[in-house]
A and B are shown apart, each in its own frame.
Chain A
Amino acid sequence: MGPWWSADFFTQRAAEIEAATREHVILTLIAVGIGLAISLPLAVLAHRRTWLATPLLAISGAIYTIPSLALFALLLPWTGLSRTTVEVGLVGYTLLILIRNTLTGLSGVPVDVVDAARGMGYGSRRLLFRVELPLALPAIIAGVRVATVSTIALVTVGAEVSNGGLGRLILQGLQDEYPAEAVGASVLCVGLALVADLLLVVVQRLATPWARQR
């Protein structure tokens, strides 16, 4: 069996590593993007029509409970070895986190503030975009952070059924009994999660300048 750490792995296979990392990032971006596009409107709707919140959380909670390998494999007979197969599973896992955090953020908007905005003549659309969503932003971004970091880790499992970014290299390391490859790819994967998390913290600070004093 090969070594557990090798700098050569990073230099000799740079092109392959770069491609895998790029695929990893793209899979994550698409998953969190589509996850947000589904979760935000649903959460806003459930905030307005409160009876929707319970079934929405129950359904996304049920999806969240299903083991990732099962969710990735579910579409395989129909969509085959395509990126869609993995992407649908990844999106599924972001829903609970994003919907729950958005709902928490929206319901945390002080009633006084909403009343004041209504008193100033804000219609429900303006209220949503100018008052409620901005105030819910810290909670929403907190959700995006958790969703992004867990998606980056989850992408690896996709390697078993089709596209899995760095997960492909981790499995390759097992097949070749070359631990340095699995270790190197794992380290990159964790590093990717850390970088993404840091970037989102910066985004949060830039997007909510009023919260910076605290």
Chain B
Amino acid sequence: MNALSETWSWLTTADHWTGGAGVFARLVQHLQLSAEALLLAGVVAIPLALILGHVGRGSWLVVSLANASRAVPVLAVLVLLVLRMGIGDRPVVYALAIFAFPPMVTNTYAGVRGVDPEVRDAARGLGLSGNQMLRRVELPLALPLIAAGVRTAAVQVVATATIAAIVGSGGLGRFIVDGFQTNDYGQLVSGVLVVALLALAIELTLGAAERRLDPLQR
């Protein structure tokens, strides 16, 4: 089997990198879909979890969200949303956002709940109001865990965006799905490599960013 040489010749063909269906264009699509979904989920998940953590309620919601997100197949959500809304970017962004939501909620909540009670007492003793406590004590201390949640969500979103190619979405998953359907193993393996590298790069970049955000280790 010379899938490796096919891959090499696919990767070294300039036409496969440029143009509307090239690697660069697909990469931009992939990142756009992912960023939109991450943003959409983040603006809801993080404030919600901050408030829940601050008042110390809703742990059942957080736990069941985390469990449910593991049991519900990504493919099922993608297919159902596409059936509901038609093929396009919108159902894909929503599906990605659904799976970005739980890790951000869980981590933000854990971050706020994990603030040392003595620190909280000290802040209260200094006369901080609930609102000030959330903004100036709990949020900064929870930041490393929030960042970890965003990183987990981002990796999840990038992976899900790949699967979205099965239901007709753009992005880097196209190379895998199209390569499979046309028996073009060079394209398929190239797609696998590009997608894997992107996921690892995102994980490593966000991991480094996360360590810089920790106020106690700076």
Residues of A within 8 A of B (CB): 1, 62, 65-71, 73-74, 76-78, 146, 149-150, 152-157, 159-161, 167, 170-171, 173-174, 177, 179, 182-183, 185-186, 189-190, 193-194, 197
Residues of B within 8 A of A (CB): 1, 3, 67, 70-76, 79-80, 82-84, 155, 158-160, 162-163, 165-167, 173, 176-177, 179-180, 185, 188-189, 191-192, 195-196, 199-200, 203
Residues of B within 8 A of A68 (CB): 74, 159, 162-163
CB of B197 to closest CB in A, whole Å: 9
B173 touches A69 (CB 8 A): yes
**CB < 8 Å neighbour of A69 from B80, B82, B165, B200:** B165
**CB < 8 Å neighbour of B177 from A146, A153, A160, A179:** A160
A-B pairs with beta carbons under 8 A, tally:
130
A153 touches B74 (CB 8 A): yes
B83 touches A170 (CB 8 A): no
Main secondary structure of the interface of B (DSSP, over half): helix
Which chain B residue shows the least CB distance to A177? Answer: B83
Sorted from nearest, which 7 A-B pairs have the closest CB atoms?
Answer: A77-B3, A67-B159, A186-B76, A193-B71, A67-B162, A77-B185, A156-B73
A76 touches B73 (CB 8 A): no
B165 touches A77 (CB 8 A): no
Residues of B within 8 A of A149 (CB): 67, 70-71
Given A153-B70, A156-B73, A185-B76, residue A67 in contact with residue B203 (CB < 8 A):
no
